[in-house]
């Protein structure tokens, strides 16, 4: 039986769209008077904004990619030990980046030697030095020289960092793991589970429900005795990633049997089921990203499965790929794309108010158009980086 182990173009398309939306909604935070339905729901609100669907989609895409990446590695001759090490290395990189970026958010004007924006700029550039894919013809000493510069910069930033208040300063600590850190935990957990379980659908589905249960228990008062069994610290968020793993394994199985179109129809049929289940569980915390509620998890999983069914039909079955050509780099060197806005933001803040956009351009629908244009330009810049072979290995 033949199975697809190559990179699926539909997943790249889904990832590219999601990454562009992530940059868009992150930039919207800086705007004024934009429609509520585009933004994150506020704490205590029982609703779903567009921004609340983006991070779940990205976690789901991480899961979609796991079986393909591991199988592709095996086809290239990677041993199980090599695969295991790759999972640990990639997870560690995401956790380190998330850890530093979260502490930037807590940076104060204490006795540190650099400003918060200087800290953000230095650590982000250091990430590139440490995890850049260096040219194959570079000697090993030169690669490690540049990596060493990046590592030294991160160590120096850790030593001079001050958070908290001037009266009660504190060093680096895990306030929360940040977007990249949470992705790292979910990837670590679900990649290791797939590494052990393989394509056994019943077990993979069990773990999707297992992670969903953490969210349900958290809103029934029965969470405390199970909180240490979350297999990685991400709790219910891992349900998104495991849902992606299950989806790819099912899609591969149907494609291997020559039933790709039927497989996508079955996935589409699951969309209303997942969304309906989400609304049935709405009494347990409502639809709330900030609460990682079961309703939010199931509704967003349903949306992501629907996107797979639509994009799989358009891109994989019908072979139509040119429509997302300009934004494709966001789906292939995604982490590079994600970090570029931080460099842009830090530089603008360091330059001061003189380069700040007028309030009129940051307000209402004009602000929305500005943020959409900004996201598109970042993706185009990512394409330039891709052509120059500047990409991170994570």
Q: Give tens-digit pLDDT for 230-254.
A: 554 457 899 999 999 999 999 999 9
Does residue 132 sit within a domain?
Answer: no
Q: Could you tell me the pLDDT band of residue 7, with boundaries at 50, 70 and 90? A: low
Does residue 121 sit within a domain?
Answer: no
Mean model confidence pLDDT for the chain = 90
- Which domain covers residue 218, as residue numbers? 9-106+175-387
Does residue 192 sit within a domain?
Answer: yes
Q: Is 222 in contact with 213 (CB distance < 8 Å)?
A: no
Report how far apart, in Å, the C-alpha atoms of 212 and of each of 20, 162, 186, 232, 268 are: 27, 37, 13, 14, 21
CA 213 – CA 300 distance, rounded (Å): 16
Does residue 371 sit within a domain?
Answer: yes
Q: What is the pLDDT of residue 138?
A: 94
Q: What is the pLDDT of residue 356?
A: 87
Specify the DSSP element, H or E, that contains 103.
Answer: helix 80-105
Other CB atoms within a 10 A radius of the CB of residue 135 amount to 9
Share of the chain above pLDDT 90, in %: 75
Report how far apart, in Å, the C-alpha atoms of 211 and of each of 198, 204, 207, 234, 331 are: 18, 11, 6, 9, 27
Does residue 51 sit within a domain?
Answer: yes
Report how far apart, in Å, the C-alpha atoms of 278 and of each of 36, 273, 387 are: 21, 9, 42
Q: Is 392 in contact with 128 (CB distance < 8 Å)?
A: yes
Q: Give tens-digit pLDDT for 45-73.
A: 899 999 999 999 999 999 999 999 999 99
Share of the chain above pLDDT 70, in %: 93
Q: What is the pLDDT of residue 140?
A: 95
Q: What is the pLDDT of residue 179?
A: 92
Q: Give tens-digit pLDDT for 79-112.
A: 999 999 999 999 999 999 999 999 998 888 666 6
Q: Give me the mean pLDDT over the 38-51 stretch.
A: 91
Q: Give tens-digit pLDDT for 146-187.
A: 999 999 999 999 998 888 777 777 888 887 888 999 999 999
Does residue 125 sit within a domain?
Answer: no
Does residue 254 sit within a domain?
Answer: yes
Does residue 194 sit within a domain?
Answer: yes
Task: Pick left, alpha or beta for residue 258 (phi over 0 → left; psi -120 to 50 → alpha; otherwise beta).
Answer: left
The structural domain count of the chain equals 1
CA 356 – CA 146 distance, rounded (Å): 33
Note the pTM of the prediction, 2 decimals.
Answer: 0.93
């Amino acid at each position: 039986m033949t199975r697809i182990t190559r990179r699926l173009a539909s997943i790249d398309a889904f990832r590219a769209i999601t990454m562009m939306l992530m940059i868009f909604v992150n930039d919207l935070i800086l705007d004024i008077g934009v429609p509520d339905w585009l933004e994150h729901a506020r704490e205590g609100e029982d609703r779903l904004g567009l921004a609340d669907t983006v991070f779940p989609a990205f976690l789901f895409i991480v899961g979609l990619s796991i079986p393909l990446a591991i199988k592709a590695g095996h086809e290239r001759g990677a041993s199980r030990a090599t695969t295991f090490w790759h999972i640990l290395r990639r997870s560690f990189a995401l956790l380190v980046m998330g850890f530093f970026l979260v502490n930037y958010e807590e940076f104060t004007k204490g006795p540190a030697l650099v400003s918060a924006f200087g800290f953000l700029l230095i650590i982000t550039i250091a990430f590139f030095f440490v995890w850049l894919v260096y040219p194959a013809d570079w000697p090993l000493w030169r690669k490690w020289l540049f990596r060493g510069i990046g590592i030294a910069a991160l160590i120096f930033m850790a030593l001079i960092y001050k958070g908290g208040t001037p009266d009660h300063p504190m060093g680096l600590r895990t306030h929360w793991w940040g977007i990249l850190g949470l992705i790292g935990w979910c990837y670590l957990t679900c990649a290791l589970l797939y590494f052990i379980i393989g394509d056994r659908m019943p077990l993979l589905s069990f773990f999707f429900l297992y992670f969903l249960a953490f969210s349900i228990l958290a809103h029934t008062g029965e969470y405390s005795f199970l909180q240490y069994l979350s297999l990685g610290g991400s709790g219910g968020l891992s349900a998104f990633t495991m849902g992606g793993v299950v989806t790819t394994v099912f899609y591969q199985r149907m494609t291997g049997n020559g039933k790709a179109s039927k497989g996508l129809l079955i996935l589409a049929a699951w969309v209303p089921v997942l969304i309906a289940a989400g609304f049935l569980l709405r009494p347990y915390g409502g639809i709330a990203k900030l609460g990682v509620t079961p309703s939010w998890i199931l509704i967003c999983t349903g949306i992501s499965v629907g996107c797979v069914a639509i994009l799989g039909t358009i891109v994989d079955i019908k072979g139509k790929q040119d429509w997302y050509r300009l934004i494709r780099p966001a789906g292939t060197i995604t982490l590079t794309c994600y970090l570029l806005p931080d460099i842009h933001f830090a530089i603008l803040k360091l330059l001061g108010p003189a380069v700040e956009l007028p309030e009129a351009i940051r307000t209402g629908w004009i602000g929305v158009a500005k943020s959409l244009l900004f996201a598109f330009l970042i993706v185009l810049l990512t394409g330039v980086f891709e052509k120059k072979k500047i990409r991170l290995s994570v």
